[in-house]
Structure 1
């Protein structure tokens, strides 16, 4: 794949389009999520016009998705100046027992700043420092999610704020996706991870070619262990000729 490739992703709500923009040193493939969902592929001139919109950035192993038939390269256009990579991204710094992020890390290149204050409207539009697997990407695309939605209050009936179930002792969860070319290897890795205390699901992947090892664990309120666990799983996958395909976090509903 080349930077500038336009990638089509099928979702239950229509066709979505990404542009492969760059590679991040920590979060790998960086794509621009272009606005809108379409019932059919737009004409080339409309697709080219779409590629000039800013959209938002996401970290998604698009090269892996294309290689396994989960997405398709349909065009190639120059990346608009200044949109090759996010200038800054947000990473949760502290999560309360209620599942609310009260502090964020602002990553600007190699510089990290812990924000001990409310985010500005501009900061709420910054992309998030998390890798999405294909299933999670499709969900976000179908919902027409944008980064600022991450900071909106969750509303219940009659518009009332609904507390997270973490008030009853639940903690945020982190889910990792590992793929292996052979089922025997995947099952062996799954068994090892269970011995280490992870919750593991082991089954054939959606592409019907690779073996999926789905690894889940709880996060502490600060979530400080997330990066080290991700790196541990990346290393484990590589050791067994597999591929780490990203993670997602979920706050208690």
Structure 2
């Protein structure tokens, strides 16, 4: 399986502009872990390295290299730079466990190696990404919803 490498910054073409993402991690059993960088640009920004040093908008798992290779979305590697320390640790993903009515009974948390659970997680867990492989359509929607620059 081909993948981008941690640190790679990818320009993703969107309707009417561009968004930028950075690969933070590769996992042997999952696709690339990607952090979305702020902004939706009509033309490429002048300093992509500065953009990549900033905060993440969201984090997802997506087989980005494969999606580009197969033409499911248009993108290209534009540079590679160090992943900021805020995103250098493998993220903890959350997984809802639901009852028959669809109510969340408890949450599993996965850190790339092991699982643990919590029936009453603190509010900080709401910001953790869901452990799912994002579709390209959802990925494009989420990137398109970032603030225009």
Which TM-score band (shorter chain)?
0.7 to 0.9
For 1:51, the equivalent position in structure 2 comes to: 52
The two structures have a TM-score, normalised by structure 1, of 0.50
**Offset at 1:23?**
1.0
**Offset at 1:13?**
6.3
The two structures have a TM-score, normalised by structure 2, of 0.79
Deviation string 1:10-67 (CA, Å, 9 cap, x unpaired) is 2236421111222123322111111221111101x2x111101231321011111332
1:66 to 55, 65, 68: 68
Does residue 89 (structure 1) correspond to residue 74 (structure 2)? The answer is no
CA, structure 1 residues 25+17, in 2 after alignment: closer, same or farther (shift >3 Å)? same
Distance in 2 (alpha carbons) for counterparts of 1:96 and 1:36:
39
CA, structure 1 residues 67+13, in 2 after alignment: closer, same or farther (shift >3 Å)? same
Does residue 136 (structure 1) correspond to residue 119 (structure 2)? The answer is no
**Offset at 1:7?**
0.7
Deviation string 1:51-94 (CA, Å, 9 cap, x unpaired) is 01231321011111332352211222222235234331101211
2:129 to 127, 141, 144: 127
For 1:79, the equivalent position in structure 2 comes to: 83
Task: Kindly indicate whether the alpha-carbon contact (under 8 Å) linking 1:35 and 1:50 is maintained by their aligned counterparts in 2.
Answer: yes
CA, structure 1 residues 143+49, in 2 after alignment: closer, same or farther (shift >3 Å)? same
**Offset at 1:107?**
1.4
Distance in 2 (alpha carbons) for counterparts of 1:18 and 1:92:
26
Root mean square deviation, CA, Å: 2.4
Q: Secondary structure at the match of 1:127?
A: coil
Q: Which fold has the larger relative contact order, with Cα–Cα distance below 8 Å and residues 6 or more apart in sequence?
A: 2
For 1:180, the equivalent position in structure 2 comes to: none
Task: Kindly indicate whether the alpha-carbon contact (under 8 Å) linking 2:27 and 2:112 is maintained by their aligned counterparts in 1.
Answer: no
User: Which has a greater percent of helix?
Assistant: 1
**Offset at 1:3?**
2.4
Distance in 2 (alpha carbons) for counterparts of 1:143 and 1:82:
23
Task: Kindly indicate whether the alpha-carbon contact (under 8 Å) linking 1:93 and 1:114 is maintained by their aligned counterparts in 2.
Answer: no
Q: After the TM superposition, list the runs of 4 or more consecutive aligned residues in structure 1 that deviate by more than 6 angstroms.
A: none
CA, structure 1 residues 106+2, in 2 after alignment: closer, same or farther (shift >3 Å)? closer
Could you tell me which runs of 5 or more consecutive residues in structure 2 were left unpaired when the two chains were aligned.
Answer: none
Could you tell me which runs of 5 or more consecutive residues in structure 1 were left unpaired when the two chains were aligned.
Answer: 145-253
Task: Kindly indicate whether the alpha-carbon contact (under 8 Å) linking 1:57 and 1:85 is maintained by their aligned counterparts in 2.
Answer: no
1:28 to 12, 26, 31: 31
Residue correspondences, number = 141
